[in-house]
Amino acid sequence: MFEGSCVALVTPFSKGRVDEKKLRDLVEFHIAEGTQAIVPCGTTGESATLSHREHGRVIEVVVRAARKRIQVIAGTGSNSTREAVEMTRHAKSVGADACLLITPYYNKPTQTGLVHHFRTVARSVSVPIVLYNVPSRTGVNMLPATVIELARSEKNIVGIKEASGNLDQSSEIRKALPKDFSLYSGDDSLTLPILSLGGQGVISVVANIIPRDVAEMCDAWRSGDTDRARELHLKMFPLFKAVFIETNPIPVKTAMGRMRLCSSELRLPLVAMSAENRKKLESALRNYGVLK
């Protein structure tokens, strides 16, 4: 699996439709800026409001645009195990390098239910699988013991995006599992701490707008330049906070619109930022130097 910065890619829209040309442009942008991998159809990609056809098409467009120059880790999770299997099979069939699967949301399975869910997907599709734990979104926290059980029993469960905000969980996972099980930060502001615990990188929201700096921070840490990694973390920290001032991906898409990377168009029930928060975001972008 990748080491370093993986972007949780936004899905660009134009007049209600997926903007495939802009999607391809964003892939080229990230390759040029040094991003190590791309996740289409994750939370930041508004996967919850994509139709099944759109979901599959976005993954296909990104894979074809990448042309094996950058890893593509397709978001294929669902609260329906059967649906997760189907989407994961599709991602593999179009050439995704791996799949990112969120814990089932809304139906709040037990830890045993989580084991059976991920085991079923892993045994149904021969593709590397990265687990995704984000209890603030799903209503269920996948405990370290569950992650450890799955990693030890299923060879193609190869990593986790840890977005619980609880560094103790990351510590338990890292202590129990060998380094070939990849630990990724799911919170931009916790990337450096997770790298210090032996994490391999981040699946990042802020990398949509400052990909080179996120990649450089990860590279600096891996090369042993801890001072440079810390310097970059502290430089980016105000942006880490600004892109979560409202529900993700509202702020980051707003920023991308202002930076002319893609349209800021969202899908309901997400709506445009409040005027007050937009001013705060734009101030952070100006202070960082990416907006005049």
- Record the tokens describing residue 25, joined without a space: 């442009």
Tell me which of 22, 92, 161, 253 is the catalytic residue.
161
**List of domains in the chain:** 4-223 (3.20.20.70)
The secondary element (H helix, E strand) that includes residue 13 is strand 13-14
CB of 184 within 8 A of CB of 203? yes
Instruction: Look at residue 175 in the predicted model and tell me its pLDDT.
Output: 97
SS3 assignment, position 268: coil
Average pLDDT over residues 230-251: 98
| C-alpha closest to that of 158 among 183, 175, 188, 181 | 181
Instruction: Classify each residue of 237-266 as buried b or exposed e, where b means 16 or more C-beta atoms within 10 Å of its C-beta.
Output: eebbebbbbbebbbbbbbbbbbeebbbbbb
Tell me the C-alpha distance between 196 and 130, whole Å. Answer: 20
Q: Which residues pair with 129 in a beta bridge?
A: 99, 157
Average pLDDT over residues 203-219: 98
Q: Given a cut of 90, is residue 114 above it in pLDDT?
A: yes
Instruction: Look at residue 181 in the predicted model and tell me its pLDDT.
Output: 98
Instruction: Look at residue 292 in the predicted model and tell me its pLDDT.
Output: 81
Does residue 155 carry a catalytic annotation? no
Distances (CA, A) of 251 to 68, 74, 193, 256, 271: 30, 23, 24, 9, 10
Does residue 21 carry a catalytic annotation? no
DSSP string, 122-175: HHHS-S-EEEEE-HHHHS----HHHHHHHHHH-TTEEEEEE-SS-HHHHHHHHH
pLDDT in tens, 88-97: 999 999 999 9
| C-alpha closest to that of 194 among 217, 219, 157, 162 | 162
Tell me which of 92, 132, 184, 253 is the catalytic residue.
132
pLDDT in tens, 195-205: 999 999 999 99
Instruction: Look at residue 147 in the predicted model and tell me its pLDDT.
Output: 98
Q: Given a cut of 90, is residue 44 above it in pLDDT?
A: yes
Q: Given a cut of 90, is residue 1 above it in pLDDT?
A: no
Whole-model pTM?
0.95
CB of 77 within 8 A of CB of 102? yes
